[in-house]
Copies of this chain bind each other. A is one copy, B any other.
Amino acid sequence: MAKQGAGELPKYQRIAAELRAAIESGQYGPGDQLPGENQLKETHQVALMTARQALDVLKNEGIAESRKGKGVFVRAFRPVRRRGVQRLSQEVWGSGRSVWADDAADRDLVVDGIEVGEAPATEPVARVLGLEPGAAVCTRHRRFVLDGKPVLLSVSHLPAELVAGSPVTQEDTGPGGTYARLAELGHKPVRFREEVRSRMPSAAETRQLELSAGTPVMRICRTAFDGDGRAVELNEMTLDAAAYVLEYDIEA
């Protein structure tokens, strides 16, 4: 036996749609447990695999989440607001405050996995920074963990000749961070360009950000320019899309 009745949706999509509607109507709230495979199998009189397929739909839509041995639950969201303009104003990093402090507010933000190194520029990085391919580049890897959950991976690239010997090549860049140091080196960032993309995560990103199925990532590539219009930093960030809302203020 197989197939759905003519002109109708497949069974698993019908079951998924029914659950989706129940969630959207508020019948199941954030964090609530949904009917499991076995229950769906009986209430809808389908095979286990079909019930599983229905739940897979909701998981891949990011509205449900399964925990092994426990059940399937409605996902809850509580995104952080990331202000793209204010965070880069000179008042923030010029005052010695971290560029990241603004995001956290009342929440617990930890930075781990810091790795600083020097490596030859890859082709795309060299192009953005205006270097010859293979030129030495200082790279700074970091991971941001919010309330125990990793939310952002960051890799910063800077021309090595620009920052050699400065605190930028240390784990702790000092008050005001990289941008304050660049300013001291005569390359104060005055203009930034952010490119935002979104896609499904790679396997590595899923692991590092502990993402569940159905969660996209946002990719922000930020270039910092000094007063001469030279690109002095390229920062590639990978964000858990469920954890962030990006805000940009624009003057006409």
Contact = CB atoms under 8 A, between A and B. Distances in A.
Interface of A: 17, 20, 49, 60-63, 79, 84-85, 88-90, 188-203, 213-218, 241-242, 244-252
A20 B203 contact: yes
Given A250-B194, A251-B191, A199 B213 contact: no
Contact of A62 (B196, B200, B246, B248): B200
Contact of A241 (B89, B189, B198): B198
Given A192-B250, A193-B250, A198-B198, 19 more contacts: A62-B199, A84-B248, A89-B252, A90-B252, A188-B252, A189-B252, A191-B251, A192-B249, A193-B247, A194-B247, A194-B250, A195-B246, A196-B245, A196-B248, A198-B216, A199-B241, A200-B216, A216-B216, A248-B250
A49 to B, nearest CB: 8
A199 B242 contact: yes
A245 B203 contact: no
27 contacts: A17-B203, A60-B60, A63-B200, A79-B197, A84-B250, A85-B250, A88-B250, A188-B252, A189-B252, A190-B251, A190-B252, A191-B250, A191-B251, A192-B252, A194-B247, A194-B250, A195-B245, A196-B196, A196-B218, A196-B248, A198-B198, A198-B216, A198-B217, A198-B218, A200-B214, A200-B215, A248-B250
A90 to B, nearest CB: 5
A224 B215 CA distance: 30
Contacts of A61: 200-202
A191 B249 contact: yes
Residue from A17, A49, A193, A201 having most chain B Cβ neighbours under 10 A: A193
A252 B94 CA distance: 10
Contacts of A218: 196, 198
Contacts of A60: 60, 200, 213
